[in-house]
Amino acid sequence: MKSMQGILHQTSVQNAQAQSTTFTSATVVAGQKRSWSTADAEPQQSDSKPSGSTAPFQRSLSLPDGPSRLKPGRIVNLSRSQGPTEYSQRQVMAATPTASTDPELSLGHPTYDLPPQLVENFASLGINQIYPWQKSCLKGPGLLDGTKNLVYCAPTGGGKSLVADLLMLKRVMEERGSKALLVLPYVALVQEKVRWLRNVISGLRLPKLPEQDDTKRIWRRRADEDSIRVVGFFGGGKVRATWADFDIGVCTMEKANALVNAAIDDCSISSLRAVVLDELHMIDDEHRGYLLELMTTKLLSLEQPMQIIAMSATLPNMSLMAEWIDGHSYETRYRPVPIYEHLVYEGKVYPAASTGSLIRTATHLSTHTQRPSQGQITPLKEIERSEHKEFRDPVLNAVVALAVETAMTGFGVLVFAGSRGMCETDARLISRVMPQLEEIDPAILDKRLDLLSDLRSLSTGADPVLAETVLFGVAFHRLTTEERDLIAGAYDAGTLLVCVATCSLAAGINLPARRVILHGARMGRDFVGPALLRQMRGRAGRQGKVPVGETHLCCRGSDLEQVVQLMHADLPEVSSCLNTENRRLQRALLEVICTRLANSYESVRDHFRRSLLRHTHGIEHVDKLLEASVTEIEQLEFIVRDEHGNYVATQLGRAIVASAIDPDDGVFIYKELSRALAAFVMDGDMHILYTFTPVQDSGVPVNWQIFRNEMEGLDESGMRVLNFLGIKPTVVVRLAQGAVLKETTKEERELARVYRRFYLALQLRDLCNEMPIHIVARKYDMPRGSVQNLSQTCQGFAAGMIRFCDAMGWGVFAAALDHFSDRLMAGARTDLLELAKIPFIKSRTARVFWESGFKSIASIANADPKELLPVLMQAQPNKIRLKGQAEEKYEEKLMAKANVISNGANRLWQIQMQAEMDLE
């Protein structure tokens, strides 16, 4: 601890002033036009310590001066006696029976027929028994034996995922060669689920094949041949796995639909035995939900032994969904942890009781009536005004006061805000109210120091606002993937106590909290929907984490009545999103014909009788839409009729399905690539980068001044690409001066898409030239997470473009694109592609290894891991100066990473050597 205390001792007012000066200077420079080297000067030069300055790590610990520490309003309890509550009653008498009173609540009970190893794995993860509702659900007709589908609804935190996991694992373990797909809406959830399932199946072995006899095997079986393989599929994923490479595939909606299409096309779909659809309510999401319906309808039409398990926390018309997939339905409202919901207005905390009482209270408050009306709710608490001007807004004052009150007890708090800017502001203000460093438990502070060290060691460096707040136990969640993983792990471990996230991320995070605080009920300018509001409030309370959950929705007067109505609004019924206006149905029709599931109008009509569209709108509506859609995709030359009058997909139709893009985007891409084949600019990177830029990002914000500056710096090759695409420099200059890009006609909208794609292509160019994400984000005035998301999305889109070219017969073009896609994935120039295959070696790290003499996989494989340690230390964007114990911990972490790199290089080198021997 001496080293840590020494660091803290140096965190003085003088250092704070120095830090303030540093930040001010950086802010001024960031607003000026400058080169990459200027922008990156601070992290690159941090290896040497200028005289009179503090080390980078020490500067990050600098605190504002004493007077700027803030204090929100005091919370005063107004309720004299609340009487017995659900929580107090549960403390006396458990709400959930145990396996001692009901043996069937034990996972080891013969009813479930689970392998002892699986039961043991669940116990090691803290699951020793199931809830009564889970028992009742699993014992539904035909569920445990896999002969019946299932749709069920349970509150967030109620244990619904365990039911799906058990049924899915039973299907995979019953028959060797069986496969399962688990479909989730967000990449973060896919990554988290992959980690969870790999722990669950640890040590499990698949059943032997009937003819398999180990005593008669000539060839030695691989050690992992009998293990269950769990693989994640998502946009930007670096694993290029196929249908044959997994037993359980955890996928995003887009990847799941593409996998099913490919498996149907090559007739390998027969091995699929289970499909889990999580967050089923997202089937009516206007942007992506239709993909769930496309995929599920295709699976229903196969009529093969397969169990579909669909679940949601917000599904009002569950019976319709059960009818659609011909499944058993089950609903429970049980929560193992009680939740108390509150409305906060003008510093008063009201219980979110019945709708009528809350509306009467809202009406009374909004009209400022002096006499209380009958049935009005009285407040439970009052949040007094703060003496600080930062908390003049009563809503912000309430958010900060409630967050700090819970954090001071050691429990976690989630705050949801309506924008990214609000997230950062809330996190900053909450951190300035939390205890100062010298008041924090040394053990906790030590963990936060380690977290800050890990954040600063990332290739992006530490976000400046995050570096300012984490030492006080506060973070925000809209970050890069690596930052998000570190923040989530620290929050789950109790190192961080407050996490602020945007409303839009409510369904994509799995961070339970004692108290959930909503900073208003708007996302941008609009109110959130009832389903999203329930998602956010449902994050409160989690079995094994906190004993009770609380939600506080803080709103201002102008929103009061709408918020009250929203809190008690009925969830809208889920319906099909297939229609002809956005060509969703045309895509569904084209996929069905391309995969040969239907080839005549009668068979197409029969296929769509199984769709959710028919169940929500009727067969007459489906017939009307199908007739129009068939005509349209024929006119677009996606399909033709053969001599027998059957539908056959054209080469263009097959290319669109193979690349997993929408028909409108397919037409746009076909036109652009057809032109490019005649005059592709091959003496530079910009044309290929433009080709790899997703066409869906038409709404990307463009800073036209930055666009103009980058355009002026293009070389002759880049200017030829600009002219070829129809981008006029004079137009860009006018836009930079304040003109508006016209998007009235179809031609204008397509040209606007070209301008925006090129702006994103400029960012891709910098990423592929090894410019760090945080520098690209600063240069283009974009959030770090958005830049990283662009990089990951482009990797998936690039793979689609390569498949498109292959399907069109443009083999040479596909080969050129395929070579450059490796650079896109590595974020590095061509000379580093081999090194970038090694784990933990990407972009900047690969360049440091190259310049240190490690220019091949063999050179790293043959090196002692201790030789790699100095290289890894040099590769850190901000070299951290520590002493004593803290330095030892830091070197231990880097040494562990060096061992992983060494092992990974050895595996790759062995594969290379084997390939060379096979060629001989």
- CA angle 547–548–551, rounded 5-degree value: 150
Q: How high is the pLDDT of residue 292?
A: 94
Q: How high is the pLDDT of residue 169?
A: 96
Q: Give 209's pLDDT tier (boundaries 50, 70, 90).
A: low
Of the candidates 278, 126, 284, 158, the one whose C-alpha atom is nearest the C-alpha of residue 538 is: 158
What digits encode the pLDDT tens for the residues 432-441?
A: 999 988 888 8
In angstroms, the CA 742 to CA 776 distance is 27
Q: How far is CA 729 from CA 254, 418, 718, 725, in A?
A: 37, 37, 12, 12
Q: Are strands 75-77 and 381-383 parallel, antiparallel or unpaired?
A: antiparallel
Of the candidates 822, 824, 801, 823, the one whose C-alpha atom is nearest the C-alpha of residue 813 is: 801
- Least confident window among 56-65, 578-587, 709-718, 727-736: 56-65
| Structure tokens belonging to residue 212 | 């398999």
- Least confident window among 25-29, 259-263, 530-534: 25-29
Element (H, E) at 496: none
Higher pLDDT, 615 or 461: 615
Give, rounded to a whole angstrom, the gap between the first and last alpha carbons of the chain. 59
What digits encode the pLDDT tens for the residues 150-170?
A: 999 998 878 899 999 999 999
Q: How high is the pLDDT of residue 80?
A: 60
Query: What are the beta bridge partners of residue 517?
Result: 415, 552
In angstroms, the CA 768 to CA 836 distance is 12
Of the candidates 114, 174, 118, the one whose C-alpha atom is nearest the C-alpha of residue 138 is: 114
CATH number of this structure's domain 339-567: 3.40.50.300
Mean pLDDT score, 362-378: 60
| Structure tokens belonging to residue 266 | 């090559």
How many alpha carbons lie under 13 Å from residue 71 in its C-beta half-sphere?
6
In the block, residue with structure tokens 């399962």: 180
What digits encode the pLDDT tens for the residues 829-887?
A: 666 667 777 777 776 677 788 778 887 888 888 888 888 888 887 776 554 444 455 56
In angstroms, the CA 171 to CA 275 distance is 10
pLDDT over threshold 60, residue 665: yes
pLDDT over threshold 60, residue 8: no
Say how many residues make up the chain. Answer: 920
In angstroms, the CA 65 to CA 154 distance is 49
Of the candidates 361, 403, 350, the one whose C-alpha atom is nearest the C-alpha of residue 73 is: 403
The most confident of the ranges 75-89, 247-261, 578-592 is 247-261
Q: How high is the pLDDT of residue 778?
A: 86
Distance of CA 199 to the CA centre of its chain: 21
| Structure tokens belonging to residue 602 | 């009668």
Mean pLDDT score, 660-666: 88
| Structure tokens belonging to residue 129 | 């028994």
In angstroms, the CA 640 to CA 704 distance is 44
Of the candidates 174, 166, 181, the one whose C-alpha atom is nearest the C-alpha of residue 296 is: 181
| Structure tokens belonging to residue 797 | 């889109």
Q: How high is the pLDDT of residue 248?
A: 96
DSSP tag of 473: T
Tell me the domain boundaries of the chain: 2-68, 103-207+226-331, 339-567, 584-649, 663-809, 837-919
What digits encode the pLDDT tens for the residues 886-900?
A: 566 667 777 888 888
103-207+226-331 and 339-567 share one CATH topology?
yes
Distance of CA 526 to the CA centre of its chain: 23
| Structure tokens belonging to residue 279 | 């967050």
Distance of CA 296 to the CA centre of its chain: 23
DSSP tag of 470: G
In angstroms, the CA 369 to CA 656 distance is 63
Q: Give 98's pLDDT tier (boundaries 50, 70, 90).
A: low
pLDDT over threshold 90, residue 146: yes
pLDDT over threshold 80, residue 114: yes
Q: How high is the pLDDT of residue 835?
A: 74
- Least confident window among 86-95, 130-139, 195-204: 86-95
In angstroms, the CA 104 to CA 349 distance is 43
- Cα dihedral across residues 408, 414, 415, 421: positive or negative: positive
Residues of the chain by 3-state class (helix, strand, coil), percent to 5: 55, 10, 35
pLDDT over threshold 70, residue 99: no
Q: Are 179 and 499 in contact (CB under 8 A)?
A: no
Mean pLDDT score, 706-716: 93
Mean pLDDT score, 290-314: 93
In angstroms, the CA 461 to CA 875 distance is 11
Q: How high is the pLDDT of residue 522?
A: 83
What digits encode the pLDDT tens for the residues 571-590?
A: 888 889 888 777 889 999 99
In the block, residue with structure tokens 């400022």: 368
Question: DSSP H helical segments within 176-316, as ranges?
Answer: 187-200, 253-265, 290-302
Query: What are the beta bridge partners of residue 523?
Result: 526
Q: Give 678's pLDDT tier (boundaries 50, 70, 90).
A: confident
Q: How high is the pLDDT of residue 356?
A: 57
Q: To the nearest whole percent, how much of the chain has pLDDT over 70?
A: 79
**Residue 777: helix, strand or coil by DSSP?**
helix
Mean pLDDT score, 254-263: 93
Q: Are 205 and 176 in contact (CB under 8 A)?
A: no
- Exposure letters 520-559 (e unless 16+ CB within 10 A, then b): bbbbeeebbbbbbbbbbbbbbbbbebbebbbbbbbbeeeb
In the block, residue with structure tokens 């004299």: 80
Q: Which residue type does 187 have?
A: V
Q: How far is CA 508 from CA 185, 192, 279, 573, in A?
A: 8, 10, 11, 22
Rg (CA), the chain: 29
Q: Give 570's pLDDT tier (boundaries 50, 70, 90).
A: confident
Q: Give 2's pLDDT tier (boundaries 50, 70, 90).
A: very low
Q: Give 273's pLDDT tier (boundaries 50, 70, 90).
A: very high
Q: Which CATH architecture has domain 103-207+226-331?
A: 3-Layer(aba) Sandwich (3.40)
Q: Any residues with CB less than 8 A from the CB of 606 and at least 6 apart, and which?
A: 598
**SS3 annotation, 165-203:** HHHHHHHHHHCCCCEEEEECCCHHHHHHHHHHHHHHCCC
How many Cβ atoms sit within 10 Å of the Cβ of residue 471? 22
How many Cβ atoms sit within 10 Å of the Cβ of residue 872? 22
**Residue 846: helix, strand or coil by DSSP?**
helix
- Please state whether the predicted TM-score (pTM) of the whole model is above 0.85: no
Q: How high is the pLDDT of residue 222?
A: 47
Q: How far is CA 648 from CA 301, 593, 600, 660, in A?
A: 19, 7, 9, 18
Q: How high is the pLDDT of residue 851?
A: 75
The strand ranges marked E within 314-417 are 327-331, 339-345, 348-351, 381-383, 413-417
In angstroms, the CA 210 to CA 70 distance is 71
Q: Are 410 and 432 in contact (CB under 8 A)?
A: no
Mean pLDDT score, 53-75: 54
pLDDT over threshold 90, residue 327: yes
pLDDT over threshold 70, residue 823: no
- Least confident window among 73-82, 314-323, 729-738, 809-818: 73-82
In angstroms, the CA 93 to CA 824 distance is 58
